[in-house]
Amino acid sequence: MTDAFRISRSFAEIADLLAEEPREPADSFAAAFAETACEVRLAAAEDAVSADMPEAREVQLAVEMMVTTLFDVLRDTRLEPLADRIGWGVVHSFHKVAEGLGREADHAARKLGERVRENDGSEIAAGEIEEGQALCNGLDEACEALACMRDHAAQMFHAETGHPWSSPRATLTSGKRTASVIAAADFLAARRAKRIEAQAPSGPIVLFSGGQVWEDHARIWRELDGIKMRIPGMVLATSAQDRGCDAIAAAWAARSGVKLVAFTLDRRHGKRAGFARNEAMMRLKPVEAVVCEGSGLQSHLARLVRSGGVPAHFIACDETRTRHLG
């Protein structure tokens, strides 16, 4: 088999995988790469930048090529077992840059708030407020673009590996701010409201938990698809396992555009950490729950769901034992 044939075959295989994945809508890239002002700043000490944003479609294709080419080059070589780790690192690099820009944007917003509160009406104060808003605009704009690239790279990683990319910590959020130039105080209020929604998304909560050993993703996806049809604005809350049922649910959420809240263990609770997590999830007042067969933690959550009167779907490893209770 020639190298050319092997590579062309791998591209065909990737194309088939991507065809099964809902593609990132073109307008999401267009929104992420929209310009929020005529001029922005990316650092307080730098001049304002008036150059155009990159062309959205070109960035989307570049991200796809970056990830898929990496896997193609390593496929059928002795380094292929490392492809997942390297691919994860590529996505993580986008995430780290976006995360850093987000922190800089928060700092710039705090400084802008101080300037607004101290505004004495002078021309100097007005200029500082204008520069501060341009800096916030620029950093928010850049952070949003990098987050969009990260999300798309994560989608390519999922297509290549069959499992979702996830950061070891941090909340992944994005949502383009589309306001034009507005008063600084209103700008800060809008920015706070956006951050609150991103970090604490509103919408009906659906709980999900399951064991770490699970092969049949189709059953879980069918169940979640059915719930989403009834509750289009649902937010999925999971017990944040990186294997098995929770990983399958995370992949479904990424595929379906559903916001996901991952409840990791709080080790301060010691041996009760898993049970405390279940109790914290129930405090979200869920409207529905899906519990797949697993360990005693899933049995505990099932009891809480039943006693709380939450409509529930209990999925057993043996499909004939699956029950839907409400």
Structural domain boundaries in the chain = 3-199, 205-325
**pLDDT, tens digit, 9 for 90 and up, residues 146-179:** 988 998 898 889 888 888 787 654 444 444 333 3
> Average model confidence (pLDDT) for the chain?
77
Q: What is the token pair recorded at 298?
A: 């899933």
Chain centre to alpha carbon of residue 311: 27
Q: What is the token pair recorded at 38?
A: 């005529």
Question: What does the pLDDT read at residue 83?
Answer: 93
**pLDDT, tens digit, 9 for 90 and up, residues 197-249:** 555 556 788 999 988 888 778 889 999 999 999 988 888 888 877 778 888 88
State the CB neighbour count (10 A cutoff) for residue 71: 20
Alpha helices of the chain — where are they, by DSSP H? 3-20, 26-32, 56-74, 83-117, 123-161, 184-199, 217-230, 244-256, 273-282, 296-307
pLDDT band at residue 128, thresholds of 50, 70 and 90? confident
Across the beta sheet with 259-262, the strand order is: 259-262, 235-238, 205-209, 288-292, 312-315, 323-325
CA 311, CA 324: separation in Å to the nearest integer?
8
**pLDDT, tens digit, 9 for 90 and up, residues 67-119:** 999 999 999 999 999 999 999 999 999 999 988 988 888 888 888 877 777 77
pTM: 0.52
CA distances from 296 to 281, 292, 316 (A): 16, 11, 14
| CATH architecture entry for 205-325 | 3-Layer(aba) Sandwich (3.40)
